[in-house]
Amino acid sequence: MHPFNKYYLIWFFSLFITFSQAHAQENEITTPSAPTIAASAYLLEDFHTGKVLAESNADARLAPASLTKIMTVYVVFKELSNGHLHLDDTVTISEKAWKTSGSRMFLELGNQVKIVDLLHGVIIQSGNDASVALAEHVAGDETTFADMMNQHAARLGMNNSHFKNSDGLPNPDHYSSARDLAILTTALIKEFPEYYPWFSQKEFTYNKITQQNRNKLLSRDDSVDGVKTGFTDDAGYCLVASALREDMRLISVVMGTKSAIARANENQTLINFGFRFYESHRLYEGNKPLNEARIWKGANKTIPLGLTEDLYVTIPRRLYSDLKAVVNIDKKIIAPIAEHTKLGSVRVSLKDELIIEKDLVSLQSIDKGNMFQRVIDSALLMMEKSDNGK
């Protein structure tokens, strides 16, 4: 080989390798490591997608203290939505509720208190007495109410939670995890948007006693609008926080910190990290036509296709233009078709990496066509099959 050709070949391969490495680095998705959090367990996730942005020990079964009350009010909200309770219903305060130790709403024995006031007492004042009063009113006694809590936990997929009471006072068989509490908080916000604003209230007055919300982030960060604090000696200082900035909502759970200031600071650190380095986008709206497909032997010629719910993605910041969505539609869709039948998929990728796939479904039902329509379409299908076979 001529020396010049040999030199040229070496130069060409060196250039090729350099270009390939640069291209690979360009396509690589990198974000900074999550901050170090001084807590027994923590988790940060995007509300809409459930994407976990930071976590440590998130499935450990820990004492939840008053974070328990998120489930307590969730159960009551469910009963309200089912029509079994009404906000103006009154609850008679029992001796057990009146005597409950720990943080209190300062209920008086035998008084009649509206459910709406008791809920405020639980959410804002973290009243153990209010929690017990609600539990007894809903289920007859706290043991039965705890059974209801556990049934909802199982339904939501809270696999590392078990509840023995409504207030979170210590019990060896009473526990939850950072991941489970994020699951619960997400469900509460999604299912009960009409009640969720109560979690952002900074104070509540009952019986001429005004108490401040213990969630210090409500006063520190305008984007924070909930959720609940907790403390016992065995649980340490805990906080579930939620923040909303530019249509992106984050859920942050921190358990087992050393002080009330520490739980606020550690949650703030997680929230700032999430908003600084990630962004969330709604790509498609649920139950709205995204595409349409030809339907054979049906009363209609086409059928609208879409998603059963909004499709969100959570991605590192400044990579939105690198998203790619591909819609795949089944071939030869034959009537009848029921509403929400899977007829394809939507696949979203970021830099060639699949990040989410959702079913593409029929947005309406299509009945069989009449005899004439079925005969015509059968003939067309046979002709198409014959053409494809050539």
Q: Is 66 a catalytic residue?
A: yes
Assess contact for 138 and 122: CB atoms under 8 A. Answer: no
Q: Which of 69, 164, 228, 297 is catalytic?
A: 69
Q: Is 126 a catalytic residue?
A: yes
Q: Which of 66, 103, 131, 362 is catalytic?
A: 66
Assess contact for 333 and 343: CB atoms under 8 A. Answer: yes
Find residue 333's DSSP bridge partners.
295
What would the two tokens of residue 160 be?
Answer: 């590392």
What would the two tokens of residue 294 be?
Answer: 């030809």
**Chain centroid, CA 156 distance in Å:** 11
Q: Which of 40, 94, 126, 252 is catalytic?
A: 126
Question: Which residues are catalytic, by number?
Answer: 66, 69, 126
